[in-house]
Structure 1
Amino acid sequence: MKEISCKLLVMGAGPGGYVCAIRAGQLGIDTVIVEAVKAGGTCLNVGCIPSKAMIHAADEYSKATEMASGRSPFGITVSTPAIDLAKTVAWKDRIVGRLNAGVTGLLKKAGVKAVVGWARFRDGKTVEVDTETGLQVIRAETIVIATGSAPVELPFLPFGGPVISSTEALALKQLPPELVVVGGGYIGLELGTAFAKLGSKVAVVEALSRILPQYDAELTRPVAKRLDALGVKVLTGAKARGLSGKGDALLLEAADGTEQKIAADKVLVTVGRKPQVESWGLEEIDLDRDGPFIRIDDQCRTSMRGIYAIGDVTGEPMLAHRAMAQGEMVAEIVAGHKRAWDKRSIPAVCFTDPEIVTVGLSPDEAKAAGIEIKSAQFPFSANGRAMTLSGEDGFVRVVARADNHLVLGIQAVGTGASELSAAFSLAIEMGAQLEDIAGTIHAHPTQGEAFLEAALRTLGHALHI
């Protein structure tokens, strides 16, 4: 049995954990990080990065198919395209491999000691790790829990065989002719749209009355329109019940109460994610919980002194950039800096077609909080750059206080809208008023001009509509 001591121990090398460890190392803190699989966690290895790679590949294939059919608005024609999904997945894996190696290199550069294995609490200051060479005991002054989350499994649709999670979907070597997606949230629709573009016949089953229920209807309407154009069958108010006896179809209860069956070579279950709070000795320590999540304060401190928690294990929003920001903050707190957590300007992006981005409060959320608002939107159909990208379907919307014009929220839906998220977040982080956005010169021709025009329209004098 080996034993080492350190000032800071980070459990989990996902986006939150590795950023915390790197920043701690930069600040001269003796840091150890423990990871059982690969540095980068879900996001880098089986989530954000590989899914966006597959979405981009699907977009390129869809464009080629459009050109081959003679439907391209650009006047470009090509011969009949084909896709080798195994090669596409191999390309995706190379990207993941490069980034994985990059994270490992950054940890080493920061002087962080990495231990490979599964960590488990003995007490609030001691962790044991099962490694290939035996049991490693680590004693630390401070511990950061960054164990992440995992896909939710339905009891009547357990993972295995034709039933897959997003992890397996991103590793398929052959295109499923018929794919049924259970869950109409962002993960299901991102992957469902990609497979539809690659040539699968896709159906989406959502128990609620509409897709993407976390966004308002105005934002999701262009996405629903695009799904219809791609031939994706969307069943809302429908409840999955299980597989058929032969395992070649999904059984469901439709909105009208009738029992239906949809043929499926694969059933992709994307009904949410749950925090990883098992198998690492939670029962050996005493942490307060918020439902299944670990409760934290505005400095990511748990109910036990010297133990912090960051990322998905602490609740919504389960976003990699939230975990990264928390990780950086905790490292600086451990180093003695004065920091606190403020989540008002965390952007959320849905990489559907078209993309959705939101920051801050929606009009309905602001009104529910009793705030009198001014709000307006500017359509991409009046934006020159969006038109050249064939991305006119969508808009930018600004929400501001009626009294002092402080910007409370910004939302957009449109082709490439995710790239506007930084500008949106910065405006709220800096406490911008409508006049600040309106007074900022935006380059022409860019989609960012729609942000300017939305602010102008909220003030009552848009120029290009």
Structure 2
Amino acid sequence: MNQSVDLNVDLVVIGGGPGGYTAAFRAADLGMSVALVEKRNVLGGVCLNAGCIPSKALLQAAKLLEEVAEWNERGLEFGKPVIKLDRLRDWKDSVVSKLAGGLSGLASKRGVKVLSGEGVFAGPNILEVAGQGSVRFNKAIIAVGSRPVRLPFLPDHPGIMDSTSALALEDLPKRLLVLGGGVIGLEMASIYASLGSEVSVAELTDGLLPGCDRDLVRPLEKRLGARLKAIMTGTRVKAVETLQEGFKVVFEGAKAPSPQIYDRILSAAGRRPNGDGLHADKAGVNVDAQGFIKVDSAQRTNVPHIFAIGDVVGNPMLAHKASYEAKIAAELASGMHVTNSAKVIPSVVYTDPEVAWVGLNETAAKRDGIAFEKATFPWMASGRSLTMGRDEGVTKILVDPVTRALLGVGIVGPHAGDLIAEATLAIETGCEPGDVGLTIHPHPSLSETFAFAAEAYEGTLTELYIGRKG
């Protein structure tokens, strides 16, 4: 406690990602003096600088390339697209720079002191910031995020990419192997395949997007199957050998192919929380063996004046979850009385088609023995989806058979990530299918499919014949 201090603040926030900057800005708005510590030279964290935003920019380009090819077959003929990688990369980087600059301006207007450097605890009320000195704080919010998991069998070679290096888009490999058929792996596979790479995906489990309902995955799997070189489920990588001509990969599994040569390998095997790099023990904060920090419903750690939010407190590792938790932690730190009362958190896979779900899904319900009733609406009966040339979508609802409240919603199809927001609100507010069905939706629109699924459950649907109910 006698340590020399360079800065005194009410609150220090460690990590400048979506959770960290949201917490800092909210606390400043509530009148607290705030220091925001970020090891990068820019705010936004992985999400803005090397994750959510650059990947969505490139996915938009990938989607346009796919649409050009499809519309050529529908009577609108375009010339073959010319991919100018440098310009595409510059555009992607400009999007990131614009948003990062905006955050810097918001921090300045709010009087938030931004410190660039890695922060570690030196005591329960002291944070050391590399190159910046020490900060004494009354309250702290840990928002240090996560990092890609490094697979031990992969060689240390520049041709082995994680999601961060893959988004740098330095070049387009002719043959790319993606290890992992989860969200990150499939989004990156979609980008590189659309840009011209020959992409194969290896997934250890028996299906893509493990844990997601199979009826939502099937339309995506079918579309990807036509675009990718190979989708190898139930397949493990046994060994990787570096050769002059590329990487020789040996697979194992019931459907494993013979050894293959790839120019690059993208490891997308998940992420690990960064709680292990904080010297948290010096502040008395408990960090488990995986790097997670346990918190209560008020985002408090075992040390009452230190909070934690986002990836470091557990799954799902999503930016919007971190931002929600950030406001709770900031408000509590300022003296307000709030708690984490979110019923559900939506998840989105920004592939083409998009896959989105919120609340209970069938896979979890069957595993845990939770009773439910189900209704679906196939997009082949949606006028809007047909005008888009995309009839593969499905909207599904799960309903509590006793209370008739919505338990979960799953959507696969274009713009599913936008559509899931209404479903999230419906579950949060305790809506029944009848509430959704009786809400007038615009026609023709994809949002109608949610109402039609609700009407299918109620037995009032006219867009399909499903027989009389009751």
Q: TM-score, normalised by structure 1?
A: 0.95
Query: Structure 1's 282 and 447: CA in aligned 2 closer, same or farther, altered over 3 A?
Result: same
User: Could you say if the C-alpha distance between residues 385 and 267 of structure 1 is closer, same or farther in structure 2, counting changes exceeding 3 Å?
Assistant: same
Q: Deviations over 1:330-374 (max 9, x none)?
A: 111112222111342211001112101111001343355554322
Matched letter for residue 113 of structure 2: K
The one-character-per-residue Cα deviations of 1:291-328 (angstroms, maximum 9, x if unpaired) are 52110111110011211000001110000000000001
Q: Show CA shifts across 1:92-122 (max 9, x none).
A: 0000000001111111222211111111100
- What residue ranges of structure 2 are gaps of 5+ in the alignment? 465-470
Amino acid at match of 1:3: D
Closer, same or farther in 2 for the Cα pair 1:278/1:366, shift >3 Å?
closer
Q: Contact 2:280/2:286 (CA < 8 Å) preserved in 1?
A: no
CA contact (8 A) 1:86 1:174 kept: no
Number of the residue aligned with 2:247: 249
Question: For residue 151 of structure 2, what is the aligned residue in structure 1?
Answer: 154
- Preserved CA contact (<8 Å) 2:32 2:334: yes
**Partner residue of 1:4 out of 7, 10, 16:** 7
Is 1:141–2:144 an aligned residue pair?
no
> In the alignment, does 2:79 pair up with 1:54?
no
- Whole-angstrom distance in 2 between the partners of 1:258 and 1:175: 26
- The alignment status of 1:115 with 2:112, answered yes or no, reads no
Distance 1:7 1:404, change over 3 A: same
1:280 corresponding residue in structure 2: 278
Which deviates more from structure 2 when the two are superposed, residues 235-244 or residues 280-289?
280-289
**Post-superposition offset of 1:290:** 5.0
Q: Secondary structure at the match of 1:413?
A: strand
In structure 1, the residue matched to 2:68 is 64
Give SS of 2:456's match: helix
Structure 1 residues 255, 302: CA separation in 2 closer, same or farther (over 3 Å shift)? same
Letter matched to residue 459 of structure 1? E
2:26 corresponds to which of 23, 42, 50: 23
Distance 2:362 2:67 in 1: 35
**What residue in structure 1 maps to residue 467 of structure 2?**
none
Alpha-carbon displacement from aligned partner over 1:179-198 (angstroms, at most 9, x marks no partner): 10001101000110121111
**Is the 8 Å Cα contact of residues 159 and 165 (structure 1) preserved in structure 2?**
no
Report the CA distance between 1:288 and its aligned residue: 3.0
Q: Do the aligned partners of residues 384 and 436 (structure 1) sit closer, same or farther apart at CA in structure 2, a change above 3 Å counting? A: same
Distance 1:22 1:245, change over 3 A: closer
Amino acid at match of 1:274: R
Instruction: Say whether residues 1:413 and 2:412 are aligned partners.
Output: yes
**Cα distance in 1, alignment partners of residues 221 and 212 from structure 2:** 12
- Tell me the alpha carbon deviations over residues 6-65 of structure 1, each in whole angstroms, 9 at most, x when there is no partner: 111000000000000000111111111111102000000000000000011111123334
- For the 8 Å contact 2:63–2:352, the answer to whether it is kept is no
Partner amino acid for 2:112? Answer: V
Task: Return the alpha-carbon distance in structure 1 between the equivalents of residues 80 and 363 of structure 2.
Answer: 47
Per the normalisation by structure 2, the TM-score is 0.94
- In structure 2, the residue matched to 1:32 is 35
Number of residues of Structure 1 aligned to a counterpart in Structure 2:
458
Contact 1:249 1:261 (8 Å CA) reproduced:
no
Asked if the contact 2:36/2:115 (under 8 Å) is kept, the reply is yes
- Of 213, 216, 219, which aligns to 1:216? 213
Look up the match of 2:266. Answer: 268
* Comparing 420-429 and 10-19, the one that deviates more: 420-429
Contact 1:178 1:201 in 2 (8 A): yes
Q: Indicate yes or no: 2:176 matched with 1:179.
A: yes
Question: Which residue of 2 is the match for residue 431 of structure 1?
Answer: 430
Offset at residue 386 of structure 1 (A): 1.0
Q: In the alignment, residue 64 of structure 1 is paired with which amino acid?
A: V
- Aligned CA RMSD, in angstroms, stands at 1.7
Aligned partners of 2:143 and 2:180: how far apart in 1?
26
Give the match for residue 207 of structure 1: 204
**CA deviations over 1:400-432 (Å, ceiling 9, x no partner):** 111221111111001111110210111111111
Contact 1:180–1:250 (Cα < 8 Å) also in 2:
no
CA distance 1:177–1:367, shift in 2 (3 Å): closer
Residues 151 and 359 (structure 1), Cα distance of their counterparts in 2 relative to 1, 3 Å cut: same
